[in-house]
Structure 1
Amino acid sequence: MKNLIPFISFIIAFYTSYKIIPVVIRIAHLKNLVDEPNNRTSHKKAVPTLGGVGIFIGFSVASLLLASYYFVPEFNSLLLGMLVLFFLGIKDDILVLSPKKKLVGQILVAFMITFLGDVRITSFEGILGIYDIPYWPSILSSMFIFIALINAVNLIDGIDGLASGFGILASTFFGVDFYILGHFAWAMLCFAMAGALFAFLLYNVFGNANKIFMGDTGSLVLGLFITTATLKFININAASSGPFSINFAPALAISVLALPVFDTLRVFSIRIANGQSPFHPDKRHIHHLMLRLGFSHKASTSILISVNAAIIGICFALQPLNINYHILALCAVVFSLIGLLWNLSRRAASKNKSIAKPKKIEEIEQMKDLKSKIFEHVN
């Protein structure tokens, strides 16, 4: 029976979120808690932004109902941290929260989970020649990882289905690995998150009248959960010695997180090089490049998630390499793909400008002709 609990958690989380989200949508419209279109958004009408409420409730209900079957020592600190970010996200989605206050909240949550929950990276597994890490450097480096990944996941939530699609991919991958290694408690949590995200995805991508966005309420909570699962994935595989344990877990974790990590690194580097704040909002993210190439939201999301899955496959193919060469090869592959997209999008943008310019000139000439005809008629 215990072996089936992870799959049951998926069903419970999916069903709960699927039933809760329409209620959230109705309330959001009644109270005008919606995201109005502007020059930075790609939607054309007001859409509720509290989809994270349905995700969090679905995950929490499934996890709490089934928690009695397993002992998860990190569960209390994880749920508390998710609750803190949940309320921070709600405030930001409704009233707008300053970046400094969000950062303070993230630091607090990162400290709670690394210090109280003891979820931290304890070894670099030979990356740059570093293996075991002393306690406090382990705490500080883990806190940095939490804050960086929470924000990275938050930043990819820019088009329909991208953040939730990535969350489903990462949660399912980690969940399957935990299940194979016999860590059913963490498999249960991962499948619960995947179920809640899948229910949200149906409304976010395929909803018309009942469309909803994840908002910071969902992306912050998702980022925290994925980061926690990532560190557990690395530590569990490092401690395992069975036939299914993975001896290149850090590199594999990077490949699973390729979409948010490398997109954030690229965008932050460009902003800093241009003398801007790394948090300055713009349309340089990889999903913006896809839209510029003419792909729809659904197509862009499908391509990017498929590419992320392919990068995981490439990581497995590079398994024989030393861990440092493994990571360098992964970085080379990912940055090459991003560079290709960037060049294609620039060509598409310049082509659109060249097409738009003659049209504009033609419109001006038509206006001049109209004015001259009106002038002749008056005279």
Structure 2
Amino acid sequence: MKILITGTAGFIGFFLAKRLIAEGYDVVGLDNINDYYDVRLKYARLEQTGIAQDEIADGQLISSKKHPNYRFIKADLENENVVRKLFETERFDYVCHLAAQAGVRYSLQNPYAYIQSNIVGFMHLLEMARRFPVKHFVYASTSSVYGLNGRMPLSPHHPADHPISLYAATKKSNEMMAHSYSHLFRIPVTGLRFFTVYGPWGRPDMALFLFTRNMLADKPIQVFNRGEMIRDFTYVEDIVEGVKRIIEYPAEPNPQWDAQNPDPASSSAPYRIYNIGNNQPVSLMTYIHAIEKALGKKAIMELLPMQPGDVYATHADVSDLEQAVHYKPRTSVEEGVRKFVEWYRTFYRVSQSI
């Protein structure tokens, strides 16, 4: 089975690529390796899968030195010609689209980057999936689409019509675009709303990375809304297990779907939306205490007001995921944070004594 995974120099895409390579998929990874955060981390992830930095060239498929069933291409999804050529040549069975311009706060500073990557790039993938049909088109959405919805736990069967950041709005747009293509062209599409993903090899702009780095350097950490937030922190390998199972479970029309009472999570088209979250939300202060325990030192906290675009709480209802593929995430925050800290110390060569 041949699959295109976009974003394989990124956090979740890297883990998914490793998993599917190990399971014998014929994997093609794509990433533009942009400088939204430290590209050295992105190249280090690629090295783990046998893709050497000095062999990477724009628009060129290169083979892994470690895995005969893995190839990588550096490309922008906004470049329609490159995307079309890739689909025309490779004829993918599956697409798992994880590449995106991420980050709620950055969307306040550079909104156009989100339109180009998350809207234009997504459109090109949908159009190629129409021209060169695939068995299943899976894409990453986000818990941020719930926005002002305060009904907990957050369910894909609830409306998600009030996003409060441009990042979230582009992801909600992806869901709507995917539905239209599924309805018009009968493409099986599934959107996965991820809830605060963390773990080894994680993004440097995320709280766990920022907190760990500053605490090790005896610098203050910025704690927004004075720590009065709740998050459904989800360990990356739990996310990947859910994604892998969904890829192999193509969306189908819901025979009970009612146009007079439309269910947002399904359709008369082969379309589905699922949450992937830990289903065990914890307070931000509990998360910080887990980092303190893993590091063996106390945090110096700078308590700040709420940031624009942030939400107060997330809590994933994952009953649909559990029913569909018999899986729900189960890694505790304490275990996941400990694994991240162990990776961080090794990768950045930080001694235990610091």
Sort the TM-score into its range (normalised by shorter chain). Answer: under 0.3
The structure number with the bigger radius of gyration is: 1
Q: Which has the higher contact order (CA 8 A, sep 6+)?
A: 1
Larger relative helix fraction: 1
TM-score (structure 2 length as normaliser): 0.28
